[in-house]
A = this chain, B = another copy of it.
Amino acid sequence: MSYSASLVALADPTRRKIFERLRRGPLAVGAIAEGLPVSRPAVSQHLKVLKEAGLLTETQDGARRIYRIDPEGLGQLRAWLDQFWDVALENFKADAEK
A interface residue numbers (CB < 8 A to B): 4, 7-8, 10-11, 13, 16, 19, 22-26, 57, 68-71, 74, 77-78, 81, 83-85, 87-89, 91-92, 95
- Chain B, Cβ-Cβ closest to A26: B91
Beta-carbon contact of A11 and B16 below 8 Å: no
Q: Give the contacting residue for A91; candidates B7, B8, B70, B95; CB below 8 A.
A: B70
How many copies make up the complex? Answer: 2
Main secondary structure of the interface of A (DSSP, over half): helix
Cα A83 to Cα B13 with chains together (Å) = 17
Provide 19 A-B residue pairs closer than 8 Å at the C-beta atoms, listed in order of the A residue.
Answer: A4-B16, A7-B10, A7-B11, A8-B11, A10-B11, A23-B83, A23-B84, A23-B87, A25-B87, A57-B95, A68-B91, A70-B88, A70-B92, A71-B88, A71-B89, A77-B81, A78-B81, A78-B85, A81-B81
